[in-house]
Structure 1
Amino acid sequence: MKKLLFVLFGIVLVSIGVITLKHSQIVTGGTAGLALNLSYLFHTPFSIFFFLVNIPFYIFSFIRMGWKFTLSTIFSVSLLSILTSFDPLLPSFSVPIWIGTILGGGLIGVGLSILFANGSSLGGANILALFLHKRYNLNPGTTTFVFDFIVVLTSLYSVGLVKGVSSVFSIAVTSVVISYFKNKIAEKHISPAKNKKYVLKRNVAITQ
């Protein structure tokens, strides 16, 4: 139950981050960025594209990451699609581009970190980042940034150069946040082992 609450909280943070970016007219990376880009081009709700572009990644996730992770990811993606679909019902507003860049990127980074730590993701590059981290111990923040950067490059046509640069900065903020929490989680798991080793050595010294 506790893990589910953390996943829900992470999704809420990401949805606020995505809406913030959308009202700043900039994009993010991964399938979320691709869906935002398509929503700008075709004037179609983000939620529809976000759900559709993730379908191929569900198959990869099921094969490589197992059915539990895949179901959790499908749940997260579906809930994010539902939450962001309420955006048109909000009062019309705009967010200054640099505020949106930092705030949106930061919220998405924190939200994704919470999802990663609780065995879930938002599909797409998130699945690949977690798979590469699990298989080859590659930093998920770095992997996410590479994939996100590619997506942002493809969005320059729809958002323009200035907003494209802002989008790159936004995904950099997201990747830094993910890397920071990844290191904190690693330290949390490693530290007890080191302390235990120290206690064992101390006990041996005393008995001798």
Structure 2
Amino acid sequence: MKKIVNILLGCMITSIGVIILQHSNIVTGGTAGLSLSISYLITLPFALIFFLVNIPFYIFSVMRMGWKFTLNTIFSVSVLTLMTSVDHFLPAFTIPILVGSILGGVLIGIGLSIVFMNGSSLGGANILALFLQKRFGTNPGTINFLFDFIVVMSCFLTIGWLKGLCSILSIAITSRIIGYFKNEIANRNAVTSKKEVSSYKSLKSEVSVS
């Protein structure tokens, strides 16, 4: 129950960050950034685009990270989708681009870190970042930044150079915050994995005895 509450908290903080970026007319990285860019080009809402874009990444997650992590991720993505859809009920407002990029980056970084610490992700490059950390001990913040940077660079023609630079600033802040919590993320996920293995062995022993 505690993990679910923490994931909900992380999603809520992240959704506020995404909404701030939307009202600053800049993008973030990963599938969220890709979805934001697409939402600027077509009339579909961000929440729907974000959910659809993440579907292919679930296949990789099942193959490499297991069903529990994948189900947690689907839950997190669904929650974020619902939370960001609240933006449709908010009055129209604009946030200064520099303020939005900094504040949005900070909130998304904190939100993602909380989600990561509780054995989940928000899809896309998040899944790959956690997989590489688990397998090779890489910094998930660095991996996120590399993929986010590619997404933002591909959006330069759509959003313009000023918004593009502010978007890079935003993802750099997000990645820095995730990197700051990288050891905590790795330790918590390692503890969870050990508990799951221990529980599985205990259950297996009970079945064998019976």
TM bucket (normalised to shorter chain) is 0.7 to 0.9
- CA distance, structure 2, for counterparts of residue 116 and residue 109 of structure 1: 10
| Counterpart residue number, 2:115 | 115
1:139 and 2:158 aligned: no
Larger gyration radius, structure 1 or structure 2: 1
Identify the residue that residue 173 of structure 2 maps to in structure 1: 173
Residue of structure 1 in register with 2:192 after alignment: none
The whole-number CA distance in structure 2 between the counterparts of 1:186 and 1:11 is 19
Which residue in the other structure is 2:130 paired with? 130
Q: Which residue of 1 aligns with 2:39?
A: 39
In structure 2, what is the equivalent of residue 102 of structure 1? 102
Q: Secondary structure at the match of 1:6?
A: helix
Q: What's the counterpart of residue 198 of structure 2? A: none
Fraction of identical pairs, as percent: 63
How far 1:187 sits from its partner (Å)? 8.2
Report the Cα distance in structure 2 between the residues aligned to 1:75 and 1:24, rounded to whole angstroms.
27
- Residue 54 of structure 1: aligned partner: 54
1:188, CA displacement in angstroms? Answer: 9.0
Q: TM-score, normalised by structure 1?
A: 0.88
Q: Residues 117-175 of structure 1: CA distance to partner in whole angstroms, max 9, x if unpaired?
A: 00000000000000000011110000000000000011112211100000001000000
- TM-score normalised per structure 2: 0.87
CA RMSD of aligned residues (A): 1.5
Q: Where do 5+ consecutive residues of structure 2 fail to align?
A: 190-210
Who is 2:182 aligned against?
A: 182
Residue 43 of structure 1 and its aligned partner are, at CA, apart by: 2.9
Equivalent residue number for residue 23 of structure 1: 23
**Structure 1 unaligned regions, length at least 5:** 190-208
Matches of 1:122 and 1:85, distance apart in 2: 16
Residue 184 of structure 1: CA displacement?
4.9
- Structure 2 Cα separation of the partners of residues 188 and 60 of structure 1: 22
Which residue pairs with 1:71 in the alignment?
71
* 1:185 positional shift: 5.2
CA gap 1:180/1:94 in 2 versus in 1, 3 angstroms: same
- From the superposition, tell whether residues 79 and 58 of structure 1 become closer, same or farther in structure 2 (CA, over 3 Å): same
- Distance in 1 (alpha carbons) for counterparts of 2:8 and 2:184: 21
Q: Secondary structure at the match of 1:138?
A: coil
Counterpart CA distance in 1 for 2:23 and 2:184 is 32
Secondary structure in structure 2 of the residue aligned to 1:54: helix
Count, aligned residues? 189
Alignment CA distance shift 1:133-1:186 (3 Å) = closer
